[in-house]
Structure 1
């Protein structure tokens, strides 16, 4: 097993001076796991439930994702001595949460998850497939994600009107922490929401114990096109590609093909027990690989190994948390999920509408994705991307036909 040399790694002398802060990577790893898990596990449960999972199957999916990403993160980090973060696909879960479900129910959704894993694995083996994903305009990919997120991000407003005494403290906690401790805004709001559930809900004791629930996958064309393909695109465009960029900005060259192979195999392995997709971390990458993980870059891999262990501990608690979410009063957990995604929505909107030449195509993509339509058993995200590509092709083709080269007069058609 060969360790990968980290670009910009500190020298031996620097390593010696960092011994006094050796707790840095461990603490950063714990923060990475706690923030990553608490900021989005509600979105994961909402996505699996929307696809037809029972509470037990959704809890099994959350447990599976924790274990798979922990093992993948430990393998890559130890093998390359690099702080490579692996996470579940939060944008993918949001996509599932806003869909109308898979025609054929949960078994078809599970089959689609395996197809998503196969596509990720194929991207590692066939670079041309990655080129096709990269060819999708960033503006349209971001617009599709923004449209998917919009219905979820509306939830805090509607829930606040319907349940002000329950949802109000959640929103207030999020707003205060956003001002004084931004990183903990979503976990803090979620803690308040869960506290409200504990005080008001009656949860059966047997539901607290983690257990895997197997579902035999069922494959359909509609499931592959309507669920697997959008899930693959949003995972690649919103997690894997940005994850590599974040790591590069911090001085690390991620083993791209191996990371895709590991996450693709992990997604396939976890699909039968409910896991939808795992991928390179983006936000969590900055937590584990940034300066907070210590001054010595060559030791920051300890942070992701620590995060891996923490995720295994969180996996044990996943069933209890899933039971609390299932028993929550109307609107409170949806509000917490919406607050968790507001930052991603803002970034997606900014990226989608930033280029004036693609603004109309991006807007068309966004509204179709937000509409929640289903045509031929295929969900809105797929049709949104097709709509955006079609509008973009028409508008750009029109511009090419009508614009004259500088200094020349268009020729007469006669």
Structure 2
């Protein structure tokens, strides 16, 4: 081991001596290279300074020579320019003189041509005036003849019109009376048909509403059973999650739904205002809106069951929330009077009847048209239309109010 250590120490000293010798060699080379670079830089700077001095000298000599050459060329160029200007002025004066002479000749020719054209135009205008005067006299004669002929024809036409009027007036009077009778009969038939259709429609609506009420009752019963099941499931989950004794949940019986009163709505058959004699109509009062009954749901079980046992606050909040169901009472079938009614005394139609009759005759109109045609303001028109819409007599489509075909006043 000692021999190996001595051998390693010797090798180490050899390596250190080699490193020192190499370091000295490197430092020596660096110093030599630095000295060479400094010497080269000094030589290069001297060469550059000499080059700059030579350039400055050559530039000064070239500028001096160029200045002398330009000064020598200034006088010949000025003389040549003066000669060119004088020659140009002479040529311009000669050209202007030629142009002036040509313009004078052209002006004389144009003046002569214009005088000739003016004379021709004057002669033409005189001829045209004479022809126009003759044509005007001829037209006046034709107009006088046409007026005389028109007066004769008009007198004959008036006489024929009086004769035709005397012949057709009795026939027209009889036709109008017959047409009024037919209109009255047709209106009575339409009134009876509408009353029958109203009775059938009201019966159908009553049956539909009764079926809807029964389905709603069945849905509420199913909802009560479902809430009871949810309550039991919640109690079971609470026992599984929190432990303790399972409290006996009372059986929640669905609350009795209050009876909904359905007022009878009587509708009156409307007739157009254009009829000459008023047709009999049944008068009855009808409420504007059917009453709305609010049925509270039984407040027994919560509406939400927690999916994980980590949300008891959600369960308590759901227990406090009680849903409320709103049921609209359907209207009772319309009671249509079929008994014969004596001829009523003439009465002033209400604003609703006037608006309804106008919509029936016009087959629909906008709000502005109703105001303009009936001469009422915006508030009166809106109130009447709102009342007719609430009575299901008028519907609104695209800002246009239309009369329902089954609507009966």
TM-score between the two structures when normalised by the length of structure 2 = 0.19
Structure index of larger Rg = 2
Bigger relative CO (Cα 8 Å, ≥ 6 apart) = 1
TM-score between the two structures when normalised by the length of structure 1 = 0.19
Higher helix share: 1
